[in-house]
């Protein structure tokens, strides 16, 4: 069955045909590690994980590379401002290296809690400085660069179709680029490849280069590392939609200019935003954002509820965050787990009709809402419980919802969130030695049909 994906390059759904029939090269842009990833960022990583799982389900072997931006991403996207990591290091009174290390680990924890499969290669910009310098040297030899007082720049006017990914008119792009004015740039859309360290402020992260001490621009790392690990041409490159006009456009321009091989990437895929209420943007840079920790772990909600919630919409549609979405996702997810638990433990055989139906939905540009509908059809079907279970667990290779984990869990794991919240409140009251409140909460929990037992390892809850 053919796999169709929406290619940002053509703005069309295309049949996926990899360069090498069985092996797929996949590059996904990773985080800039100066703060926690927010759940909007993580929506993109979930979409990319689904993509990888769907490729695997279609029997492709995937080599997945993800970068970690630990240097060179400036507070202004147009090569102005401070390095985000160095800036945070001053704020937190740690070294830039410690900041990068800490938030990289936090990011990996988020991936784990969302059951996102790690890339085959995680690569840090700071570990690949040599490769970035080499690429800039090639660009320099081919006359795509020029020097200003603060760095080596890429001359975008030397590229015939600079806007082929963004499909923007060059004038519109220039207009956007004028937000930050650098009078030394030849063209508003030009971008920095190597930035010189400032003479006034000592940087923590800087390297020698043929042009002077400094650090790489934000875009060059992805070009250098993807070519290093996936070759000069590969299949799929992903990121959030906010990368199309600037980051990916610049990656594309400089890589094709370096290698001369076109296309560098055959398919470009982009995940849409998750917004706050009324379309308000979530952004790490403004601090206006929600995390897995704040919205799930702190509230004792399984982060897989979020993974499940993202399936309610296609990845190319904007999603709006609300408490109702979470509540409804908790209920639907727990309902689903409970139904699967009721199927018993014995696995039969995978039903091919349903498998084909599921496959045709996921192969239609990752149509997860419809794929979930097929799962519900299986549950309602006339199949035996053991065949239903086998079929659903097969789907879970793509869904990644750990639908089988519930089989080994005790009843306490499917205690309603409302009860869990009360138990937590009661634990706090006990810690504060507020016995009246603690007793009141116990009565309330009882009245809702749950019993609470205090043990050495904390409170245990069970249905009365």
Residue ranges that bind Zn ion, judged by CB under 5 A:
29, 222
CB of 28 to Zn ion, least distance (A): 8
- Closer Cβ to Zn ion, 222 or 282, answer by number: 222
CB of 200 to Zn ion, least distance (A): 30
CB of 242 to Zn ion, least distance (A): 11
In 15-37, which positions are buried (b, 16+ CB within 10 angstroms) versus exposed (e)?
ebebeeeeebbbbbbbbbbbbbb
Looking only at the bridges linking them, the beta strands covering 265-271 and 274-275 are: unpaired
- Closer Cβ to Zn ion, 270 or 426, answer by number: 270
CB of 247 to Zn ion, least distance (A): 5
- Closer Cβ to Zn ion, 244 or 283, answer by number: 244
- Closer Cβ to Zn ion, 253 or 378, answer by number: 253
- Closer Cβ to Zn ion, 222 or 336, answer by number: 222
Residues 6+ apart with CB under 8 A from 413: 406
Residues β-bridged to residue 195: 151, 215
SS3 67: strand
- Closer Cβ to Zn ion, 29 or 269, answer by number: 29
- Closer Cβ to Zn ion, 63 or 405, answer by number: 63
**What sign has the CA pseudo-torsion 375, 380, 383, 389?**
positive
Residues β-bridged to residue 26: 64, 236
- Closer Cβ to Zn ion, 29 or 74, answer by number: 29
Quote the Cα angle for 241-244-250, to 5°.
150
Q: List, as own/partner pairs, every contact residues 378-381 make where C-beta atoms lie below 8 angstroms and the sequence separation is at least 24, other chains included.
A: 378/351, 378/354, 379/339, 379/340, 381/351, 381/354
Phi-psi region of 359 (alpha: psi -120 to 50; beta: other; left: phi over 0): alpha
CB of 134 to Zn ion, least distance (A): 18
CB of 222 to Zn ion, least distance (A): 3
User: In the structure encoding, which two tokens stand for residue 50, read together?
Assistant: 């689904």
User: In the structure encoding, which two tokens stand for residue 5, read together?
Assistant: 């994906």
Q: How far apart are CA 443 and CA 421, in angstroms?
A: 14
Residues β-bridged to residue 124: 68
CB of 285 to Zn ion, least distance (A): 17
- Closer Cβ to Zn ion, 7 or 44, answer by number: 44
Question: How far is the CA of 55 from the CAs of 58, 235, 307, 445, in angstroms?
Answer: 5, 12, 19, 46
Nearest of 215, 182, 209, 164 to residue 7 by alpha carbon: 164
CB of 100 to Zn ion, least distance (A): 16
CB of 72 to Zn ion, least distance (A): 11
- Closer Cβ to Zn ion, 222 or 375, answer by number: 222
Q: Is residue 326 within 8 Å of 365, Cβ to Cβ? A: no
Q: How far apart are CA 393 and CA 351, in angstroms?
A: 11
CB of 253 to Zn ion, least distance (A): 13
């Amino acid at each position: 069955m053919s796999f169709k994906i929406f290619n940002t390059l053509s703005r069309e759904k295309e049949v996926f045909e990899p360069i090498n029939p069985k092996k797929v090269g996949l590059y996904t842009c990773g985080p800039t590690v100066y703060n926690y990833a927010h759940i909007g960022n993580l929506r993109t990583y979930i979409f990319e994980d689904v993509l990888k799982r769907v490729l695997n389900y279609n029997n492709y072997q995937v080599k997945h590379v993800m970068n970690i931006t630990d240097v060179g991403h400036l507070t202004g996207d147009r090569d102005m401002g401070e390095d985000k990591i160095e800036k945070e290091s001053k704020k937190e009174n740690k070294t830039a290296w410690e900041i990068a290390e800490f938030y990289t680990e936090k990011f990996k924890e988020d991936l784990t809690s969302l059951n996102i499969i790690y890339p085959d290669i995680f690569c840090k910009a700071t570990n690949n400085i040599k490769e970035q310098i080499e690429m800039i040297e090639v660009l320099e030899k081919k006359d795509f660069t020029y020097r200003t007082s603060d760095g080596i720049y890429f001359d975008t006017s030397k590229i015939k179709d600079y806007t082929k990914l963004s499909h923007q008119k060059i004038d519109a792009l220039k207009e956007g680029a004028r937000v930050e004015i650098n009078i030394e740039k030849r063209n508003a859309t030009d971008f920095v490849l190597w930035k010189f360290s400032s003479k006034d402020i000592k940087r923590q992260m800087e390297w020698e280069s043929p042009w002077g001490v400094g650090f790489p621009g934000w875009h060059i790392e992805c070009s250098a590392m993807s070519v290093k690990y996936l070759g000069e041409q590969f299949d799929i490159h992903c990121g959030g939609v906010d990368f199309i006009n600037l980051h990916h456009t610049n990656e594309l321009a400089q890589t094709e200019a370096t290698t001369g091989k076109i296309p560098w990437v055959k398919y470009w895929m982009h995940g849409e935003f998750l917004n706050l209420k009324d379309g308000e943007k979530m952004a790490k840079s403004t601090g206006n954002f929600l995390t897995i920790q704040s919205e799930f772990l702190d509230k004792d909600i399984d982060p897989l509820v979020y993974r499940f919630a993202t399936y309610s919409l296609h990845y190319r549609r904007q999603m709006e965050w609300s408490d109702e979405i979470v509540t409804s996702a908790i209920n639907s997810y727990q309902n689903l787990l409970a139904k699967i638990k009721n199927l018993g433990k014995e696995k039969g055989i995978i039903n091919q009709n349903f498998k084909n139906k599921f496959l045709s939905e996921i192969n239609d540009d990752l149509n997860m809402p419809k794929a979930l509908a097929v799962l519900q059809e299986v549950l309602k079907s006339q199949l035996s419980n053991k065949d239903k279970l086998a079929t659903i667990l097969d789907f879970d290779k793509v869904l990644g919802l750990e639908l089988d984990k519930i089989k080994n869990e005790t009843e306490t794991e499917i205690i309603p969130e409302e009860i869990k919240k009360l138990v937590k409140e009661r634990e706090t009251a006990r810690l504060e030695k507020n016995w009246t409140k603690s007793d009141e909460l116990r009565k309330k929990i009882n009245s809702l049909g749950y019993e609470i037992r205090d043990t050495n390892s904390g409170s245990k809850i069970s249905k009365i």
